[in-house]
Amino acid sequence: RGERTAVVLPFPTAVLAEALHGGNPTDQRAAVALYALVAGLMSAAWIAVFPYLRDHPQLVEPETDPAYFHAQRIRPWTGVILYTAAGLLGLLAPLIGLILFVVMIVFHGLTSDGVHEAPSLRRRASRAKRHLD
């Protein structure tokens, strides 16, 4: 489950930070691979969550549109694929793995409403402002 892998994330993050700060290239490659492994497991944990929530609407807020879960279904697979690529490529060139980590952060930030429903930053800011008012 996602929350179990999230609890482990500080460890590979600390390993990655230490390797980038003072490690040699071998340390950096291993740290990128470790981080990618944990992040990929976090993504994989969500593969079953969205279909489960779709099939059990009593577990979500009543106003949740069932299409939301359909729009979300690709996000965990994207994470698994890109984190796997980041880990494998990071074994050769840690910088490539780090770039893919940033790509994943941006991807998840922009698609939190679903890949096909990803609002623009302007719409998201407008919605947040209305929510605060």
For the CA atoms of 107, 32, 84, 46, the dihedral, rounded to the nearest 10 degrees, stands at -60
Output the pTM of the full model. Answer: 0.76
Per-residue pLDDT averaged across 79-91, rounded? 96
- Quick: pLDDT tens for 15-29: 999 999 998 999 999
User: For residue 87, what pLDDT band results from cuts at 50, 70 and 90?
Assistant: very high
What pLDDT, on a 0 to 100 scale, did the predictor assign at position 1?
47
For residues 32-41, one letter each, b for 16 or more C-beta atoms within 10 angstroms of the residue's C-beta and e for the rest, the string is bbbbbbbbbb
Residues 35 and 13: their CA atoms lie apart, in Å, by 6
DSSP string over 27-38? HHHHHHHHHHHH
